A = this chain, B = another copy of it.
Amino acid sequence: MGSPDGNSQAFQLRLRTGRRVAGIKDDLVTDEIRKNFASDNVSPACPAVMEAMMHANDGCVGSYGDDAVSRTLNARFGDVFETEVMVFPVVTGTAANSLALSALVAPYGAVLCDQSAHIGNDEAGAPEFFMHGAKLITLPSADGRMNPEAMRTGLRLNAQGGILKPPIQALSLTQATEWGTVYALPDIAHLCAIAHEHDIPVHLDGSRLSNAIATLGCTPAEATWKSGVDVLSFGGTKCGAMAAEAVVFFVNERTRPALKDFERRIKRSGHMWSKARFLSAQLLALLDDGLWLKNSAHANAMAQRIVDGLRRHAGVQLPFETQGNEIFVIAPDRLVEELAAAGYAFYRWPTPEGVSGTLIRLVTSFYTRAQDVDALLDEIAA
């Protein structure tokens, strides 16, 4: 499958001007093999996003979100998600998660989430900061996907603590999960139903939601509110933006209280851009013509290409099913060192107990091409 980052207009421009227009890269220009599989946030922004920011850099407009570009966000996201939404762009996923949770949970409350959740492992305590000390109560799982019975048990044990235990006031799920797995929609719906049964709203960390939607072949609505999700952290940076995420509220009885004063929370955390159109423009560019989903479908395909290749290699194991764009591999230490020496970038995960070798993670993005995957597989085979 070819890369979606080609830009025929840029190519044309180059031919005529004889010089490369900064940033609007033509992949034909670079023959270099791309070796950075550390994350989907190491890539550049995709050209459509950069162009949109250029177009947005047009004259004076009201600041603080009161501009034409920003105003279309609710409408456009509403189209894509097929329901009434309120959209609040912010610059990082950490800010999106933390702001969303702070609007759902009192300082004396708690959030229920999987043990692997990004909010509990990779955000330096940001959710607890924004929530003024509220706790994260975590449940272990086999592969990042929360089990409904474990959820019921967790809710019951916590409630038994009476006033000695912070009350659980939000459920936070991650789709696709931090272990690269994807919940089937009925499973999301089941967990949301249990939460709602307990008057608990549901937040979805959708940093890689687009990868999950691409995998499931469902609609954005089916992946979220139709399955019971109340608030979504919409991830843009990992599927092509420069820096753009959004807190998306699906307007209903559970979210109305959370929406109150939400803009004050954003301003108070230093996350309100004066030139907000530059955030909004990136998001609109991603939604345009489903670019966000195309970018992620491509990333998923590249991930499967890697998986197919690895399956032919005897020495490695794949502890989790690769259902998105993250591939977890347990490889012999020697192979891992050789890959690193060859210039490949990837994270080494703490190896599970009783396993020899090193657990590493490879991540693909819209920027990963077939030749890059093939080169990686060749290196591994060697």
Taking Cβ atoms with an 8 Å cutoff, the residues of A that contact B are 13, 16-17, 21-25, 30, 32, 34, 36, 38-39, 41-45, 50-51, 53-63, 90-92, 94-96, 98-99, 106-108, 110, 121-126, 128-136, 157, 160-161, 163-167, 237, 242-243, 261, 263-265, 267-275, 278, 345, 350, 367
Contact = CB atoms under 8 A, between A and B. Distances in A.
A94 B124 contact: no
B278 A242 contact: yes
Contacts of A164: 121-124, 267
Contacts of A62: 36, 38, 42, 345
Given A17-B16, A133-B129, A243 B274 contact: yes
Contacts of A98: 270
Given A23-B58, A92-B270, A243-B275, 19 more contacts: A16-B17, A21-B21, A22-B57, A32-B59, A34-B59, A38-B62, A41-B63, A42-B63, A44-B57, A44-B59, A53-B242, A60-B345, A107-B107, A108-B264, A122-B164, A122-B165, A132-B133, A163-B263, A269-B270
9 contacts: A23-B56, A39-B274, A45-B57, A123-B268, A125-B166, A128-B133, A131-B133, A243-B275, A270-B271
A250 B57 CA distance: 33
B45 A60 contact: no
B54 A272 contact: no
Nearest to A58: B44
Integer count of this chain's copies in the complex:
4
A67 B132 CA distance: 32
Nearest to A265: B108
Contacts of A39: 63, 274
A94 B270 contact: yes
A332 B220 CA distance: 52
Contacts of A63: 38-39, 41-42
A58 B20 CA distance: 12
Contact of A108 (B56, B57, B125, B243): B125
Contacts of A264: 108, 124, 163, 166-167
Contacts of A160: 350
A125 B129 contact: no
Nearest to A62: B42
A278 B131 contact: no
A268 B23 contact: no
Nearest to A55: B22
Contacts of A23: 53-58
A16 to B, nearest CB: 6
A23 B268 CA distance: 31
Contact of A126 (B92, B125, B268): B268
Given A163-B124, A274-B237, A54 B269 contact: no
Given A39-B63, A90-B270, A270-B271, A121 B44 contact: no
A24 to B, nearest CB: 7
A94 to B, nearest CB: 4
Contacts of A124: 108, 163-166, 264, 267-268
A191 to B, nearest CB: 22
7 shortest A-B CB distances, which residue pairs?
A23-B54, A95-B270, A41-B274, A22-B54, A36-B60, A124-B267, A128-B133
Contact of A42 (B34, B61, B123, B269): B61
A41 to B, nearest CB: 4
A129 B22 CA distance: 40
